[in-house]
Amino acid sequence: MESIIAAWPNNKKLVVMVTIMFEVWSDGKAPPYSPMTTSLKPGTPDLLGISWSQYGGKTGIWRFLRILDDTKINATICLNAKGAELFPDAVKQAHQRGHEIAGHSYTQDLVLPYLSAAEEKEVIERCKRIIADAVGVAPVGWFSPVAAPTVNTAQFLAEAGFIWHGDYNDTDLPYAIDTGKGRLVALAHSDFTDNRTLRSSPRDFFNVYKDTFDYLYQHEAPSLLNLTMHCHFGGRPMMSAMLDQLLRYMKSFPDVWFARHDEVARWVLSQNR
């Protein structure tokens, strides 16, 4: 571990990274969670769960893009690469509107610790290729499904030309790491994403992020806030309404840098040469 960042550009107090999780599952698979209170017996096709997961690519991502357009904020979209095959127009539009497209495995149920080292390396390279083919630019960032890397992930990412890796929760601020195959910036994931409110009030999401923002802005500088939403859940009106309110509130403060993950990573690397 190297020195943690000491300041943001122009001495901004706080960086806000808006993270959009654009997730899809393998054919016939559904997320292991949903707002439904009754689960089906194991092995039973969950058609409603599959439909619920598909909302993200069909509807949720488009609502997010509208909100981000309205608030003039560029986000990082962590994409299961199969999403570029299923929803190519949405992925291209996201890129064209200035958002970063980062790798997030091929599908959300393709979890890295369940793979051999050779399989993991192939998945990273395949995702990089699919995203590059979809938007014309190779991804430079990676966040693993369920935030679960392996002992090889950072090295494989550095070898493939990535500059940031989002599977870290050991400190609040980003830092540069030497993988032996190149340098990466470690970025912390959010402790409270939108799906924490599956069976509670969306207002809980608003309150957590507003209170955290207010505390960091007043008491800690430099600081970082990773505001994370999922297309298939947070892209629904009840949650997107909270995102819209949060972003408009945060934009009313002068010393905030709204940055994509790759912008933060490049700043960190430039300060740690």
User: Tens of pLDDT along 174-192?
Assistant: 999 999 999 999 999 999 9
Average pLDDT of span 93-112: 98
pLDDT digits (tens, 9 = 90+) for 142-165: 999 999 999 999 999 999 999 999
Measuring CA to CA, which residue among 146, 91, 100, 73 is closest to residue 261? 100
Instruction: Give all domains of the chain, ordered by start, each with its CATH number.
Output: 9-28+45-271 (3.20.20.370)
Cα–Cα distance measured from residue 3 to residue 122, given in angstroms and rounded to the nearest whole number: 32
pLDDT digits (tens, 9 = 90+) for 199-254: 899 999 999 999 999 999 999 999 999 999 999 999 999 999 999 999 999 999 99
